[in-house]
Amino acid sequence: MTLKELDRTPLVHRLARWAQQYPDDRAYTYMDYSENVDGVAVEMTWGELDRRARALAAVLRDGTDAGQRAAILAPQTLDYIIGFLGCHYARVIAVPLFSPDLPGHADRLVAVYGDAEPETVLTITSALPHVEAFFDQHTLPRPKQIITVDTIDTTRTWDDEPISADDLAYLQYTSGSTRVPAGVMLTHGNLAANAEQCWGTFDGIPRVSTGVNWLPLFHDMGLVTAVGLPIAYASPAVLMDPVAFIMRPIRWLELLSQQGHAFTCAPNFAYDYLSTKVSEEEKEGLDLSGVQVFMNGAETIREETLSRYLDAYGPKGLRPEVQVPAYGLAEATVYVSSSSRYEVPTVRAFDRDALGRGVLEPCDRDAERATVLVGCGQPYGQHVAVVDAETGVRLPDGHIGEMWIHGPNVTAGYWGRPEETAETFGAVLQGTLGDLPAGPWLRTGDLGVWYDGELYVTGRIKDLVIVDGRNHYPQDIEYTAYHAHEGVRREYVAAFALGGEETERLVVVAERNRRVPIKRLDLDAVTDAVRAAVKQHHDVRVHELVLIEPGGLPRTSSGKVSRHACRKAYLEGTLPVTDLSAATG
């Protein structure tokens, strides 16, 4: 099957076009909640965005050459986007990061900065003291120049230089859920193609459909949907800082309610958050009938999340079909596959024992060994093959294997890691190819299955728990564990296996539920409940349950549970284990 031809024109070429054709159209609105609880709108037109990005390109190239790296160490404002696009015009490789004062990410920033070795740092005046302190506190090479984007001379001009779709545009550092963060090399063509793939799924209206986002711009989903999509189709966008959402989640829905035709996206936890943290009083006045897409991706998608969110906001105009489950990863720019916004998501029950054997067998939803999976639809403008990871042979529908991807959104590899790039991005299909190309294919490391014309994602290969020769998906065990006892905090559980003398041992690490008074917590009762539930539902014994303090579970930069980091902390004895003796003594 021949792939749909996608437009790989670099986005700054499109920005230049919009600046000529629609100079006074609103491009971006940043809602600033730092001083006013109701937010202050800061707007920028296509003409102004283009002028400022070009001025920055001129300043950048005063002190660095094309092909060098520039790290963006700034908070999430419009200046962040100017910094990103200024790098594109200057043909400098952007490294989208964050201000050093972002809590809990110092080690990651040191590792990523050291790997990228940028010559230039882009920031803003308010974050400059944090940037200076960052270099004072760590033994990292100082950049040749630190540019405050909000103070550049906007009268500077830039004469366009040739930019190829195959030129590197930026490095997207992975969240590091299973390894040290790696810099994914994205070309201008990758970003443009993936923006069109997202847009094709959204079925948007150019210059009308409005993106409303709070996701971090240093995260792949945030960057593509908040920056790539609007520029590709001259469509307006509304942004807010992630902290503003966490502090008062209703803000996201209030901004969406103001749009006549809108799309947005977030991980599964955000929809759970909105279903439980927003009062009926806060919901008054919401009208979500104009939202065409609530994309749900980046982590395991739960049926109960979709149901709870629909129950909470159906009365406010939310339609069931606009909840769009999706799958993606940075190595494929971000977007790979999703359901249609015109159809209700597919939710089906399969036999858990068969799933452990690597096949899908439908069963009754009420069956004792049932596991419910949410479908992620079909890919747009790319191929997804389910493959035997050992042999490279394409598997028939209904059989679980590693998902491989081929398309114009598959990126150029990992920065400075040629061996890992060859292994991950250079796979070749074996056996009968059918209508698929032999290669090259991206090996995702994720497990999935084609069933009844739809893609289902079942987990990560490296996270599989194998006990007594049987496969168990950690997210299923985690789900069982946090439903087993009220003392376990929902969604904050990690399950992993350790080597044993005869077989692997299952360890479950769970945060305690802060809503249950610590004096009422009975560790034995919690342990017994979790062990019984896991034994009943998965027929596997929990070797050890570790109850830790709220906030103690290691998570990736995108908020996902990091089982790899949790296992490491468990072995090193650094988990913040709850001390019940102090509470009762």
Question: How do residues 157-173 score in pLDDT, each as one tens digit?
Answer: 999 999 999 999 999 99
- The per-residue pLDDT for 301 is 80
Stretch among 395-404, 412-421, 521-530 having the lowest mean pLDDT: 521-530
pTM of structure: 0.84
> How much is the average pLDDT of 229-234?
94
Looking at residue 503, what is its pLDDT? 63
Share of the chain above pLDDT 70, in %: 95
Tokens of 282: 């806060």
pLDDT given for residue 459 in this prediction: 79
Report the amino acid identity of residue 344: V
What is 465-584's CATH number? 3.30.300.30
The share of the chain scoring above pLDDT 90, in percent, equals 58
* 323-376 pLDDT, tens digit each: 999 999 899 999 999 999 999 999 999 988 888 888 999 998 888 888 889 999
Determine the 3-state secondary structure of 506 from DSSP: strand
Q: Give the fold, CATH level 3, of 11-247.
A: Rossmann fold (3.40.50)
pLDDT band with cut points at 50, 70 and 90 for residue 178 = very low
pLDDT at residue 519 in the model: 83
The residue ranges of every structural domain in the chain are: 11-247, 347-460, 465-584
For residue 130, pLDDT beyond 60: yes
Domains 11-247 and 465-584 share a fold: no
Residue 468 clears pLDDT 70, i.e. is over it: no
- Average confidence (pLDDT) over 174-200: 85
**pLDDT surpasses 80 at 560:** no
Where residue 96 falls among pLDDT bands split at 50, 70, 90? very high
- In angstroms, the CA 231 to CA 449 distance is 34
Write out pLDDT tens, residues 32-53.
Answer: 998 888 889 999 999 999 999 9
- Residue 502's pLDDT is 58
Q: pLDDT-derived band of residue 558, with 50, 70 and 90 as boundaries?
A: low
Split at pLDDT 50, 70, 90, the class of 552 is confident
When mean pLDDT is compared over 85-99, 106-120, 178-192, the highest value belongs to 85-99
Least confident of 143-152, 243-252, 517-526: 517-526
Residue 273 has pLDDT above 90, yes or no: no
CATH number for the domain whose boundaries are 347-460: 2.30.38.10
Residue 160 one-letter amino acid: D
Which residue in 179, 172, 170 sits closest to 218, CA to CA?
A: 172
With H, G, I as helix, E, B as strand and everything else as coil, classify residue 157: coil
* Distance from C-alpha of 430 to C-alpha of 448, rounded to nearest angstrom: 18
Provide the pLDDT confidence category of residue 246 given band limits of 50, 70 and 90.
confident
pLDDT of residue 584: 52
Cβ-defined contacts of 258-262 (< 8 Å, 24+):
259/210, 259/212, 259/290, 259/291, 260/208, 260/210, 260/290, 261/204, 261/205, 261/208, 261/209, 261/210, 261/290, 261/292, 262/209, 262/210, 262/211, 262/212, 262/290, 262/291, 262/292
Q: What angle do CA 17, 20, 23 make, to 5 degrees?
A: 115
Residue with tokens 């195959």: 166
Q: Is the pLDDT of residue 461 over 80?
A: no
How much is the pLDDT for 32?
93
| C-alpha distance from residue 393 to each of 97, 102, 545 (Å) | 38, 44, 39
Report the DSSP pairing between strands 262-266 and 291-296. parallel
**pLDDT given at position 128:** 96
pLDDT of residue 177: 45
Average pLDDT over residues 290-316: 88
pLDDT, the chain, mean: 89
Alpha-carbon span 181 to 185, nearest angstrom: 13
pLDDT at 491 over 70: yes
Q: What number is the average pLDDT over the span 308-323?
A: 93
Stretch 448-453: mean pLDDT: 94
